[in-house]
Amino acid sequence: MAPTLAEPFADSSALTEFVINQGNGVKGLSELGLRALPKQYIQPLEERMCMTNIVPQDSIPIIDMSNWEDPQVAKSICDAASKWGFFQIVNHDVPVQVLENVKEATYRFFGLPAEEKNKYSKEHSFSNNVRFGTSFTPQAEKALEWKDYLSLFYVSEEEAFALWPPACRDQVLDYMTKSEVVIKQLLQVLMKGLNVTEIDQTNESLLMGSMRTNLNYYPICPNPELTVGVGRHSDVSTLTILLQDEIGGLFVRGNQGDDWIHVPPIKGSLVINVGDALQILSNGRYRSVEHRVVANGSKNRISVPIFVNPKPGDMIGPLPELVASGENPIYKQVLYSDYVKHFFRKAHDGKKTVEFAEL
The per-residue pLDDT for range 115-152, each reduced to its tens digit, is 999 999 988 888 999 999 986 565 665 788 999 999 99
Q: Residue type at 324?
A: A
Q: How far apart are CA 311 and CA 314, in angstroms?
A: 5
Strands 230-233 and 239-244: unpaired
Q: How far apart are CA 132 and CA 124, in angstroms?
A: 10
pLDDT at 135: 67
pLDDT at 14: 87
Q: How far apart are CA 265 and CA 247, in angstroms?
A: 7
Element of type H or E holding 77: helix 71-83
Element of type H or E holding 271: strand 270-274
pLDDT at 202: 83
C-alpha pair distances (Å), 266 with each of 63, 246, 292, 295: 12, 7, 18, 19
pLDDT at 59: 84
pTM for this structure? 0.94
Domain residue ranges in the chain: 59-357
DSSP letter for each residue of 336-358 = HHHHHHHHHTS---BTGGGGGGB
- CB atoms under 10 Å from CB of 40, counted, come to 18
pLDDT at 288: 96
The list of the chain residues with pLDDT below 70 reads 1-8, 51-57, 135-141, 257, 347-350
pLDDT at 116: 96
Q: How far apart are CA 77 and CA 321, in angstroms?
A: 20
Q: How far apart are CA 39 and CA 226, in angstroms?
A: 10
Superfamily of segment(s) 59-357: B-lactam Antibiotic, Isopenicillin N Synthase; Chain (2.60.120.330)
pLDDT at 292: 92
Instruction: Give per-residue pLDDT as tens, 182-222.
Output: 999 999 999 999 999 888 888 898 999 999 999 999 999 99
C-alpha pair distances (Å), 224 with each of 14, 108, 116, 171, 306: 22, 24, 28, 31, 26
